[in-house]
Amino acid sequence: MANIEEVEFIDCGSLSISYDATGRANISLTIVKNSPDVSLNKYNNLTWGEVEFDTLVMNASQKALVGSINWYEWGLQLSGVGNSAGKNSIFNQFWGKYR
């Protein structure tokens, strides 16, 4: 049996981005992968459309996909700022100190 390369993708239907009054972005998404391991650091800087997000992974959960062999689903909740949040937002002023 041939080895299959590692495959990882974001389930686009799961992507949700919301902003609070201070400009903080809350992002949730689902990753599907044929390996039980995922590098969470690569989700600290994301771009959707023309918005670049600097985020931290606040929560991550993993489960095997039912009925599959060696496929896993990761649920991620991220928090941070997007370049559309504005340099003068309260959260962005605070966040900028810790970049």
pLDDT in tens, 49-86: 778 888 999 999 999 999 988 899 999 999 998 875 45
Domain contains 38:
yes
pTM above 0.85, yes or no: no
Domain contains 29:
yes
Domain contains 58:
yes
Tokens of 16: 């949700």
Domain contains 2:
no
Domain contains 23:
yes
Looking at the 3D structure of the chain, how many domains does it have?
1
7-26 burial, b if ≥16 CB within 10 A, otherwise e?
eeebeeeeeebeeeeebbbe
Domain contains 3:
no
Full domain range(s) for residue 36: 8-96
Domain contains 1:
no
CA 10 – CA 14 distance, rounded (Å): 8
pLDDT in tens, 39-57: 888 888 888 777 888 899 9
